[in-house]
Amino acid sequence: MTDELIFAGVDFSSGRQPVTFAALDGVLNVALLEKYEIVHVIAHLKQYGRLSLAVNMPCTKSQRRIYSGFKKRVAQAGLKPYTMKAAPKQLLETDAQACFRNWIGKPPLSRRTLEGRVQRGLVLYDQGLRITDPMDFFEEITRHHMLGGVFPNDLLYSASELDALAAAYVAWLAVNEPGQVEIMMDRLVIPKESESS
């Protein structure tokens, strides 16, 4: 078990491994970014002595069903609601779409498009997450690559990975810069809207 404070984010999708799990350390390095089954995520959560976990609230019926199962098991890992600020392991809920909207100052591009993934990656990069600069993707696109249909997709995160990273960053903000977040609808923790918007 590690006693270093970890900031984690979770996003739900479908498939055999429906949980995308992101973990950041105190200086915003990506410590872990993987897809897991719920049982594996719970095992990871148990390994951390101190943890702030943000869950990106699911929007589809199947994702809500997965989250319901996740929520029932998360207590096994010792997580308490965010309202109990003294708890060493905290669970909060967020909305990645609302986070990106507030960071950008307007609705983001679709998370399913290449442009949307680049935009969201840039937002997280600009927030200070130590990830690869998404603009590096364009430096790797050459005439030869275009003709061969070879794209440097490994330089971009998937939509689910970006949402999990955004949630992990919200968990970091809630602990390190609580004045930069607000609670919406009595439960969702999201960053305050950018002043430049």
pLDDT at residue 86 above 90? no
Contact 165, 157 (CB under 8 A): yes
21-31: average pLDDT: 96
Q: pLDDT tens across 163-178, in order?
A: 999 999 999 999 999 9
169 lies in some domain:
no
103-126: average pLDDT: 95
Give the pLDDT of residue 145: 67
45 lies in some domain:
yes
Burial label for 11, CB within 10 Å (0-12, 13-18, 19+), is: buried
Count the domains in the chain.
Answer: 1
Please tell me the distance from the alpha carbon of residue 118 to that of residue 116, in angstroms, as a whole number: 5
139 lies in some domain:
no
State which residues form the domain around 39: 2-95
70-79: average pLDDT: 88
Percent of the chain whose pLDDT exceeds 70 = 88
Confidence of residue 197 (pLDDT cuts 50, 70, 90): very low
Give the pLDDT of residue 39: 92
CATH number at residue 50: 3.30.420.140
pLDDT at residue 141 above 90? no
Percent of the chain whose pLDDT exceeds 90 = 62
Helix 159-176 to helix 114-127 angle (10° resolution) is 20
